[in-house]
């Protein structure tokens, strides 16, 4: 008899994700009985309605409103809206304007990637109670040890905020990192909080404030790139670059060496989509070019081939529409529905988006890509081939690796800022027009589609990275990418399904974004 396993909500992420899996008993590799997932369903548990509340508003307000879709990745939402407006207004950002927008996005991406690994992912692999056994002198770890030990001495008091987390004593927790690795990762957990503060400060240098920037506008940015601001950004970028290269990437590699079987878990379809997105000015190679990988083969991006299915979503809208005429009609009682996410498909296929998609699409591209040699070096260090990048560990290593790559690009973008040049390009508003903006958010390909009529928003649709990754089944019954990645996964102990959490979190889901 299949066993139903319900994880709701999945903790440590933004918003409400529920995952239901059906598993059957199998002989486990350790000789004990285990459970193998035969099917999984991802459910977005809330409706937000940004696409409908934008209708009838001034399009210039859109980049402010859409940033409120998320506190983790507000900048890509703002920029997708700005790209869509720029297309509608027929304006191209000034060179400074584009660089400033990309530098603000870079700050936001560092913040999000560091958050994902240390705050969301590490607790899946490390039993924090192990820190009570720490005998070294590291001040951060000694502080953490005192805090955890105090909580444990009070019977978990003060730690109740983490009911499902390894901060509570679980001597029987399966498959956890050895103490030495645990000490190392938890020591950096605290440093990561400081790095995230720096990354948000970087965003605020040109973004005027974070998390929701007030300075990004169609045509560029309202903050001028003064020498002082450039210096302020650069000093923080240096520290982030050093942290990513000397701490985060080595930590991810150390984790990979301790849990090598996760190169083969959470694999899924392997179809990858990348919008490119980083296009500062017109000079110099950019971090990622757009494209797709389908059945292992690269192909150019065709944004007309995107459609959203709603057969299994709580929407009564027509299914299979391109987002330029997509609809958002909520139908919470729809019998076939099981999620508030739509199911975006590319040429009818479920596609994975995110750091692994950005890297694999560019790695497989026939065009020259400056990152290819560095990916080869990384793969050599890891002792795996590029096909392994579609896995739990592939997603984690790609995230840290691309943060390093991005830091190098951001440093060059800073060099190209002209303190005497205009930070934005002027433009004329239009009564009627349409456009779309494709960017790369930390979690992957993000698109906003806009139509303006009579000077106000007539139509607005967002297709968001987590909507791609955590989508429900489409009209043809094909599971979404995360649903597929969970199929066949073995769970050693259904009371402690750590494997499921590790696969889910490798996609870095953000449900606040996904349901928008």
Instruction: Choose one: 68-76, 174-182, 202-210, 302-310; the region binding ligand NFE (CB under 6 A).
Output: 68-76
Q: Which is nearer to Mg ion, 301 or 462 (CB)?
A: 462
Nearest Cα to Cα of residue 270 among 186, 202, 361, 347 = 361
Show the beta-strand stretches assigned E in 28-164. 33-44
In the bound state, the residue with its beta carbon closest to Mg ion is 462
Q: Which residues contact 477 (CB under 8 A, 6 or more apart)?
A: none
- Pairing type for strands 17-27 and 3-7 reads antiparallel
Which of the residues 141 through 170 are near Mg ion (CB under 5 A)?
none
Q: State yes or no: residue 512 binds ligand NFE (CB under 6 A).
A: yes
Q: How far apart are CA 428 and CA 433, in angstroms?
A: 12
Among 73, 88, 141, 205, which residue sits at the site for ligand NFE (rule: CB under 6 A)? 73
Q: Are 117 and 396 in contact (CB under 8 A)?
A: yes
- Residue 359: CB partners within 8 Å, gap ≥ 6? 288, 371, 375, 389, 398, 401, 402
Neighbours of 399 (CB within 10 A): 28
Nearer to ligand NFE, 195 or 384 (CB): 195
Q: Binding residue for ligand NFE (CB under 6 A) from 72, 106, 221, 306?
A: 72
Interface with Mg ion (CB under 5 A), residue total: 1
Among 99, 128, 361, 441, binds ligand NFE (CB under 6 A): 441
Q: Is 114 in the site for ligand NFE (CB under 6 A)?
A: no
Please identify, among the stretches 38-46, 72-80, 173-181, 417-425, the one whose residues bind ligand NFE according to the rule CB under 6 A: 72-80
**Residue 202 site contact among Mg ion, ligand NFE, none (CB < 5 to 8 Å, cut-off depends on kind):** none
Q: How far apart are the first and last CA of the chain?
A: 37
Binding of residue 442 to ligand NFE (CB under 6 A) = yes
Interface with ligand NFE includes 510 (CB under 6 A)? yes
Residue 513 touches ligand NFE, criterion: CB under 6 A: yes
Q: For 334, list phi and psi in degrees, rounded to 5.
A: -55, 125
The 117-146 site mask, x for binding ligand NFE (CB under 6 A), equals ------------------------------
DSSP label at residue 68:
G
Over the window 440 to 479, marking each residue x when it contacts Mg ion by CB under 5 A and - when it does not, the resulting string is: ----------------------x-----------------
Shortest distance in whole angstroms from residue 191 CB to Mg ion: 37
- Contact range with ligand NFE by CB under 6 A, out of 70-78, 118-126, 250-258, 450-458: 70-78
Sequence-ordered list of residues with C-beta below 8 angstroms from that of 204, at least 6 positions apart, any chain:
107, 210, 213
Between vectors from CA 120 to CA 413 and to CA 196, what angle results, nearest 5°?
Answer: 35
Instruction: Give the shortest CB-77-to-ligand NFE separation in angstroms.
Output: 5
Q: Which of 446, 482, 486, 515 binds ligand NFE (CB under 6 A)?
A: 446
Between CA 259 and CA 382 the distance in angstroms is: 12
Position 310 contacts Mg ion (CB under 5 A): no
136 burial level (CB within 10 Å; 0-12, 13-18, 19+): exposed
Kindly state whether residue 207 participates in binding ligand NFE, applying the rule CB under 6 A.
no
Tell me which of Mg ion, ligand NFE, none is bound by residue 462, counting a contact when its beta carbon lies within the kind-specific cut-off of 5 to 8 angstroms: Mg ion
Question: Under the criterion CB under 6 A, does residue 309 sit at the interface with ligand NFE?
Answer: no
376 Cβ neighbours under 8 A, 6+ residues apart: none
Using CB under 6 A as the criterion, what x/- string covers residues 455-494 for binding ligand NFE?
---------xxx----------------------------
> Least separation, in Å, of the C-beta of 78 and ligand NFE?
9
Residue 172, SS3 per DSSP: coil
Q: What are the beta bridge partners of residue 13? A: none
Q: Which does 396 bind (CB under 5 to 8 A by kind): ligand NFE, Mg ion, none?
A: none
Tell me which stretch binds ligand NFE (CB under 6 A): 250-258, 329-337, 392-400, 506-514. 506-514
Q: Which structure tokens are listed for 194?
A: 């400081």
Query: Which residues make Cβ contacts (< 8 Å) with residue 8, sequence separation at least 6?
Result: 16, 17, 18, 19, 20, 43, 45
Q: Tokens representing 239?
A: 């520290």
Non-local (6+) Cβ contacts of 415 within 8 A are none
Residues at the contact surface with ligand NFE, assessed by CB under 6 A: 14, 70, 72-73, 76-77, 112, 441-443, 446, 464-466, 510, 512-514
């Amino acid at each position: 008899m299949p066993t139903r396993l319900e994880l709701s909500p999945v903790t440590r992420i933004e918003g409400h994700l529920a995952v239901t899996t059906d598993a059957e008993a199998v002989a486990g590799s350790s000789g004990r009985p285990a459970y193998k997932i035969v099917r999984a369903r991802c459910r977005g548990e809330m409706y937000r309605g940004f696409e409908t509340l934008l209708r009838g508003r001034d399009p210039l307000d859109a980049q402010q409103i859409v940033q409120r879709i998320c506190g983790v990745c507000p900048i890509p939402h703002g920029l997708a809206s700005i790209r869509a407006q720029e297309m509608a207004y027929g304006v191209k950002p000034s060179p400074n304007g584009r660089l400033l927008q990309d530098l603000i996005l870079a700050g936001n991406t560092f913040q999000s990637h560091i958050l994902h690994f240390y705050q969301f992912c590490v607790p899946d692999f490390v039993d924090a109670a192990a820190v009570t056994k720490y005998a070294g002198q590291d001040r951060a770890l000694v502080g953490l040890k005192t805090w955890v030990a105090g909580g444990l001495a009070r019977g978990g008091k003060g730690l109740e905020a983490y009911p499902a987390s390894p901060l509570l004593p679980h001597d029987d927790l399966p498959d956890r990192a050895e103490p030495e690795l645990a000490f190392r990762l938890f020591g950096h957990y605290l440093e990561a909080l400081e790095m995230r503060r720096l990354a948000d400060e970087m965003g605020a240098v040109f973004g005027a404030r974070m998390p929701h920037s007030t300075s990004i506008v169609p045509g560029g940015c309202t903050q001028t790139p003064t020498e002082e601001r450039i210096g302020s950004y650069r000093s923080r970028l240096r520290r982030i670059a050093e942290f990513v290269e000397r701490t985060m990437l080595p930590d991810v590699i150390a984790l990979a060496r301790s849990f090598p079987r996760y190169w083969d878990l959470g694999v899924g379809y392997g179809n990858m989509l990348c919008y490119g997105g980083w296009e500062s000015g017109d000079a110099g190679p950019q971090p990622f070019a757009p494209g797709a990988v389908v059945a292992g083969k690269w192909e150019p991006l065709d944004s007309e081939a995107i459609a959203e299915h709603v057969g299994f979503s709580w929407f009564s809208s027509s299914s299979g529409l391109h987002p330029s005429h997509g609809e958002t009609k909520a139908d919470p009682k729809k019998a076939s529905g099981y999620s508030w996410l739509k199911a975006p498909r590319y040429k009818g296929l479920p596609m994975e988006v995110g750091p692994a998609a950005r890297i694999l699409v560019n790695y497989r591209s026939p065009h020259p890509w400056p990152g290819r040699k560095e990916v080869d070096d990384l793969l050599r260090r890891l002792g795996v081939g590029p096909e392994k990048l579609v896995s739990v560990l592939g997603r984690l290593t790609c995230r840290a690796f691309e943060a390093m790559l991005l830091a190098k690009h951001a440093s060059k973008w800073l060099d190209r800022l002209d303190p005497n040049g205009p930070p934005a390009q002027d433009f004329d508003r239009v009564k009627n027009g349409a456009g779309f903006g494709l960017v790369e958010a930390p979690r992957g390909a993000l698109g906003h589609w806009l139509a303006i009529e009579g000077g106000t928003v007539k139509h607005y649709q967002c297709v968001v990275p987590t909507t791609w990754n955590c989508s429900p089944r489409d009209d043809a019954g094909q599971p979404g990418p995360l649903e597929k990645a969970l199929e066949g996964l073995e769970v050693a102990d259904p009371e402690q399904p750590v494997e499921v959490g590790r696969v889910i979190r490798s996609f870095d889901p953000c449900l606040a974004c996904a349901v928008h």
